[in-house]
Structure 1
Amino acid sequence: MRRGLRAATLGAAMAVIAPVASAETLADALVNAYNHSGLLQQNRALLRAADEDVAVAGTALEPVLRWTASAQQQFGRARGSTLAGVQDTDSLTLSGSLIGELLLYDFGATALRVEAAKETVLATRETLLGIEQQVLLRAVQAYMGVIEANEFVALRQNNLRVLTQELRAARNRFEVGEVTRTDVALAEAQLAQARSGLATAEGNRQIAIEEYRNIVGRMPGALRPPPRLPTIASDVDAAKGLAVRRHPDLRAVQHQVSAAELLIRQAEAAKKPTVSLQGTLSLSENLDSSNFSSGGSIGLNAGGTIYQGGARSSAVRRAIAQRDAQRGNLHVVRHNIQQNVGNAYASLRSARASLEASDRQIRAARVAFRGVREEATLGARTTLDVLDAEQSLLDAEASRISAQAQLYNAAYAVLASTGQLTARDLRLPVQLYDPAEYYNLVKDSPTKQSKQGAQLDRVLKRLQRD
Structure 2
Amino acid sequence: MKTNTGRGFLKTTAWALGLATAVSFSFGGTRATADTLADALIGAYTHSGLLQQNRALLRAADEDVPIALAALRPIINWSSDLSQVFGDTTSSSTGGLTRSIDTTTISLDLTASWQLYDFGADAARVEALKETVLATRASLLNVEQALLLRAASAFFNVGRQENFVALSQNNLRLLQQELRAANDRFEVGEVTRTDVSLAEAAVAQARSNLADAERNLIQAQAEYANVVGRQPGRLAGLPALPRTETRIEAAQAVAVRSHPEMETARRQVSVNELLVNAASKDMLPVVSLSGSLSIEEEIGGEDSTEQGVIGLNVTGPIYQGGRLTALERQAIANRDAARGNLHNVRHDVQQDVVDAISDYNAARASLAASERQIRAARVAFQGVREEATLGARTTLDVLDAEQDLLDAESNRISAQADQYIAAYAVLEAMGLLTAQRLKLPVQLYDPAAYYNLVKDGPVKRSRQGQQLDRVLRALQVDD
Determine if the TM-score, normalized by the shorter chain, exceeds 0.5.
Answer: yes
Of 411, 415, 432, the match for 1:399: 411
Paired with 1:88 and 1:39, the residues of 2 have a C-alpha distance of 70
Letter in 2 for 1:289: G
- One of 316, 340, 345 as aligned partner of 1:328: 340
Letter in 1 for 2:91: G
Structure 1: 4+ residue segments shifted above 6 A: none
Residue identity matched to 2:133: V
> Offset of 1:465 from its aligned partner?
5.9
Aligned partner of 1:449 in structure 2 is 461
SS in 1 for 2:113: strand
Deviations 1:352-406 (A, max 9, x none): 1111111111111112112212222221111111111111112111111111111
Give CA deviations for 1:122-155 in whole Å, capped at 9, x if unaligned.
0000001100000000000100110001000000
Partner Cα distance (2:436, 2:145) in 1:
11
Take 2:232 and 2:89, find their aligned partners in 1: how far apart are those partners? Answer: 90
1:369 to 381, 397, 404: 381
The one-letter code sitting in structure 2 at the alignment partner of 1:61 is L
- Distance between the aligned counterparts of 1:59 and 1:145, measured in 2? 52
1-structure distance, mates of 2:50, 2:311: 52
Aligned with residue 215 of structure 1, among 219, 227, 239 = 227
Secondary structure in 1 aligned to 2:31?
Answer: helix
- Is 1:33 matched with 2:62? no
Give the structure 2 partner of residue 283 of structure 1: 295
Counterpart code for 1:198? L
The 5-angstrom pairing of residues 13-412 of structure 1 reads 13=22, 16=26, 20-81=31-92, 82=94, 85-412=97-424
Contact 2:66/2:455 (<8 A) preserved: yes
Q: Distance in 2 between matches of 1:255 and 1:301?
A: 36
For residues 163 and 373 of structure 1, what CA distance do their matches in structure 2 show? 15
Distance 1:10 1:220, change over 3 A: farther
| SS of residue matched to 2:476 | helix
RMSD: 1.7
Give the Cα separation in 1 of the matches to 2:34 and 2:403.
Answer: 32
Q: C-alpha distance in 2, partners of 1:372/1:212?
A: 41
1:265 CA drift (Å): 0.3
Change (3 A) 1:3 1:19: farther
3-state SS, counterpart of residue 310 of structure 2: strand
Identity value in percent: 59
- Cα pair 1:279 1:299 within 8 Å, conserved: yes
Counterpart of 1:117 in structure 2: which amino acid? L
Aligned residues: 466
Bigger mean CA deviation after superposition, 230-239 or 119-128: 230-239
Distance in 2 between residues matched to 1:20 and 1:202, nearest whole Å: 22
CA contact (8 A) 2:149 2:428 kept: yes
Higher alpha-carbon deviation: 135-144 or 267-276: 267-276
Work out whether residues 374 and 408 of structure 2, in 8 Å CA contact, stay in contact via their aligned partners in 1: yes
- State whether residues 287 and 314 of structure 2, in contact with CA within 8 Å, keep that contact through their aligned partners in structure 1: yes
The one of 444, 447, 463 aligned to 1:435: 447
Indicate conservation of the 8 Å contact 2:370/2:412, yes or no: yes
CA distance in 2, matches of 1:344, 1:80: 96
Taking the aligned partners of 1:3 and 1:65, their CA distance within structure 2 comes to 93
CA contact (8 A) 1:61 1:103 kept: yes
> One-letter code of the match for 1:87?
R
**SS class of match (1:50):** helix
| Shift of residue 3, structure 1, vs aligned partner | 4.6
- Check conservation: 1:147, 1:225, Cα contact below 8 A: no
CA contact (8 A) 1:9 1:158 kept: no
Mapped contact 1:66–1:98 kept (Cα < 8 A): yes
* Structure ranking higher on relative contact order (CA contacts 8 Å, 6+ apart): 2
Shift of 1:19: 7.8
Q: Secondary structure at the match of 2:115?
A: strand
Give the unaligned 5+ runs of structure 1: none
Amino acid at match of 1:68: S
Deviation at 1:239, TM superposition (A): 0.5
Deviates more, 1:360-369 or 1:255-264: 360-369
State whether residues 29 and 143 of structure 1, in contact with CA within 8 Å, keep that contact through their aligned partners in structure 2: yes
Question: What TM-score do the two structures reach when normalised by structure 2?
Answer: 0.94
C-alpha deviations, 1:46-88, integer Å up to 9, x for none?
1101100011011111111111221222222222334573222
Q: Aligned partners of 2:436 and 2:17: how far apart in 1? A: 41
AA at the equivalent of 2:459 = T
- Does the CA-based 8 Å contact 1:354-1:403 persist in structure 2? yes
